[in-house]
Amino acid sequence: MKHTFLLCVENEGYEASLELRKLYEKVPDMEAVLHNQVRIIDESGEDYLYPSEYFSPVRLPIQTRSRITNKIPEKTIRRSVLSRR
C-alpha cells in the first residue's frame, strides 16, 4: 500500500485536531474527494474528514517515507522486552 502524506497549512475550526506545519497520513476515500474533502489520521489517532484546502501534498524521499511507515523491527521489540527483565 502506498502511503501519502499531507502537510497541514490551515486549521481554523479544528485547532484541537490539527497542528499547523505537521505531516498527516492520508487515507484513501474517493467519496471524500467528490466533496472537496480529505480523510486523514488526526491527533486523536482516528481518521476524519477535513477540507482539502487545509492540506498540501508532500513528496518525501523513499528512505524518509520508509522510516515513517515501517513498524519497529522485531529485533528491537525483543531487545526492549529483554532489557526490562
pLDDT tens per residue across span 12-70:
999 999 999 999 999 999 999 999 999 999 888 899 999 999 999 998 888 888 888 87
Q: What is the pLDDT of residue 64?
A: 87
Does the pLDDT at position 76 exceed 50? no
What values do phi and psi take at 76, rounded to 5? -65, -40
Q: What is the pLDDT of residue 52?
A: 97
Distance CA 81, CA 8 (A): 36
The answer to whether 10 and 53 are in contact (CB under 8 A) is yes
CATH topology of domain 4-83: SH3 type barrels. (2.30.30)
pTM of the model: 0.74
For the chain, which residues make up each domain, given as ranges?
4-83
